[in-house]
């Protein structure tokens, strides 16, 4: 668990430095990274899904998206047959900058992963998936009100 916490802290620090490098607030950079990551996976985000991913209210997310759009980092598109659905995309100018920043990170992570067999990677993915679903269940149930349901501060 210590290793996972340290990795999470380091990933957060990468995102903070990405924000600084772009001259953005850290929350804006987190949102931008989420948009880029979702695009890379082939599952672009809606504003509502981004709001969930970055733990902001819909109003705060709307303000954040306006800042990112005005800075030229994202565009909102209507790609669905349901024209009410908005899709968030990175702008053409931000992707090369993100790749320049995160390129060394991606290369080093690929080198680190190359030391493990596909079976070991799958087992680790299963482990991380199980930890994530356990945390999701805790947050959805025992910690729904902000803290443990049975505990007192």
Query: In this predicted structure, what is the pLDDT of residue 151?
Result: 61
CA dihedral 55, 58, 59, 64 (to 10 degrees): 60
CA distances from 145 to 56, 137, 139 (A): 16, 13, 9
36-64 as b/e: b if 16+ CB within 10 A: bebbeeeebbebebbbebbebeeeebeeb
Q: What gap in Å lies between CA 69 and CA 24, rounded to an integer?
A: 12
pLDDT at 104: 95
pTM of the model: 0.83
Phi (first) and psi of residue 76, to 5 degrees: -105, 130
pLDDT in tens, the chain (153 residues): 899 999 999 999 999 999 999 999 999 999 999 999 999 999 999 999 999 999 999 999 999 999 999 999 999 988 877 777 899 999 999 999 999 999 999 999 999 999 999 999 999 999 999 999 999 898 888 887 777 876 665
Q: What pLDDT sits at residue 1?
A: 87
């Amino acid at each position: 668990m210590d290793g996972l916490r340290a990795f999470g802290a380091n990933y957060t620090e990468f995102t903070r430095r990405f924000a600084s490098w772009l001259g953005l607030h850290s929350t804006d950079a987190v949102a931008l990274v989420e948009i880029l990551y979702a695009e890379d996976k082939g599952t672009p985000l809606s504003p509502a899904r981004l709001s969930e991913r970055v733990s902001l209210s819909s109003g705060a997310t709307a303000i954040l998206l306006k800042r990112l759009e005005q800075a030229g980092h994202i565009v909102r598109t209507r790609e669905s047959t349901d024209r009410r659905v908005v899709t968030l995309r990175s702008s053409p100018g931000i992707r090369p900058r993100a790749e320049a920043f995160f390129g060394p990170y991606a290369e080093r992570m690929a080198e680190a992963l190359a030391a493990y067999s596909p079976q070991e990677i799958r087992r680790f993915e299963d482990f991380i998936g199980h930890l994530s679903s356990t945390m999701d269940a805790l947050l959805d149930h025992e910690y729904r009100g902000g803290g443990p349901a049975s505990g007192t501060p």
